[in-house]
Amino acid sequence: MHRVSQYLPILCMIILVVLFCSGSFLASTLLAPQRKTSAKTAPYECGIVPEEDTSERFPVKFYLVAMIFIILDVEIIFLYPFTLVFRDLGGYGLAVMGIFLITLLVPFGYLLSTGALDWGPMKKTATDLAHRVLRASGMPDSPKRVAEPVAEEAA
């Protein structure tokens, strides 16, 4: 009985949150005016009225960058407490944190190496820089095509 009473405040908080969320949705559905106008159903982007119907989707790279940002933020959230108790954890804690970092940084390195994050103005800059480095080192920019012999037309 003693253990159950420890979790009673958490259970009460969960019940209150569920009641508040469902009550808010119910109140907005019942109390909101139901008159739809063209201005209310039109997309709103920072006060700019859209000139044409844009049915194109966001590129997948946009979502990829957003997910990488979230993953790296979570990594930093876990790294901060680790730095505070780093000496108390000893070698085991260091090994576990190393595995955690490798688990998150290896896929990030893979994304960087495949060019998943190369878009926008930086892509052109990175490509130009790579061509300059390859030219300076004496390596060809791209494999040269061997000219195919042109077949003579029968006269």
Q: Dihedral of CA 95/100/106/112: which sign?
A: negative
15-37 confidence digits (pLDDT tens): 999 999 999 999 988 888 778 87
Domains of the chain: which residue ranges? Answer: 58-138
For domain 58-138, the CATH architecture is: Up-down Bundle (1.20)
Close Cβ partners of 43 (under 8 Å, ≥ 6 residues apart): 50
The count of C-alpha atoms lying within 13 angstroms of the C-alpha of 81, restricted to the half-sphere facing its C-beta, is 5
| 8 A C-beta contact, residue 76 and residue 108 | no
Q: Is the pLDDT at 126 greater than 70, yes or no?
A: no
76-92 confidence digits (pLDDT tens): 888 888 888 878 888 88
